[in-house]
């Protein structure tokens, strides 16, 4: 399991907490920035990280900004990315099981470091439920992305 991480200044605190958890558990990762709390633009780090996941270089991604929202919006513009903003345990599990989300987005001004680690752990360890109904809906999302979706 290889994890790509990114954040802006608003999410660097929880990203660093998750990195500490990954290191302690020998989970392979790369941090695509930012690397300090100077004000930066979250789309840059969303793109860098999401592109790595989209290209298949990493299994999953974790992105953090102040709310998790802006960075998820930017990540979801990258082909093949299903980024989910999560702040509770149930959603962290279900977005893997039902949506096969490949990027977890969290807000450093929404949740604390302990909760970020808890959610990252659930996200990383929960597999997709490979069931017809979920596959069908994910295919629809792909078609919307490709512009081939027909109602
Ligand atoms: C940065 O101040 C803040 O706008 C950003 O971290 C994020 O919350 C945007 O969605």
Question: Residue 81's closest CA among 95, 62, 101?
Answer: 101
Pocket test for ligand 1, best of 8, 43, 85, 105 (most atoms within 8 A of CB): 8
Residues in the chain with pLDDT values less than 70: none
Angle, to 10 degrees, between the axis of helix 12-24 and the axis of helix 113-125?
A: 50
In this prediction, residue 114 carries a pLDDT of: 98
CA pseudo-torsion sign 132, 84, 112, 59: positive
CA of 34 to the centre of ligand 1 (A): 13
Q: Which residues line ligand 1 (CB under 6 A)?
A: 8, 10, 42, 65-67, 69-70
Distance between CA atoms of 7 and 42, rounded to whole angstroms?
7
Distance between CA atoms of 44 and 8, rounded to whole angstroms?
9
**Count of beta carbons in the 10 Å neighbourhood of residue 33:** 16
In this prediction, residue 82 carries a pLDDT of: 98
Q: Find out whether the peptide bond into 54 is cis, omega within 30 degrees of 0.
A: no
Q: In which order are the strands placed within the sheet that holds 2-7?
A: 28-31, 2-7, 60-65, 103-107, 83-85
Q: Which residues of 91-106 are buried (b: 16+ CB within 10 A; e: fewer)?
A: bbbbbbbebbbbbbbb
Burial class (CB within 10 angstroms; exposed 0-12, middle 13-18, buried 19+) of 107: buried
């Amino acid at each position: 399991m290889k994890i790509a991480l990114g954040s802006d200044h608003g999410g660097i605190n929880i990203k660093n907490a998750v990195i500490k958890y990954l290191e302690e558990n020998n989970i392979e990762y790369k941090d695509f920035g930012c690397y300090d709390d100077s004000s930066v633009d979250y789309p840059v780090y969303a793109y860098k990280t999401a592109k790595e996941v989209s290209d298949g270089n990493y299994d999953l991604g974790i992105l953090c900004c102040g709310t998790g929202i802006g960075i998820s919006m930017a990540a979801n513009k990258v082909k093949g990315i299903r980024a989910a903003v999560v702040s509770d345990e149930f959603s962290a599990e279900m977005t893997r099981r039902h949506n096969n989300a490949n990027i977890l987005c969290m807000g450093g001004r929404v949740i604390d470091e302990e909760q970020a680690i808890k959610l990252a752990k659930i996200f990383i360890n929960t597999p997709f439920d490979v069931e017809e109904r979920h596959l069908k809906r994910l295919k629809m999302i792909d078609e919307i992305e490709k512009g081939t979706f027909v109602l």
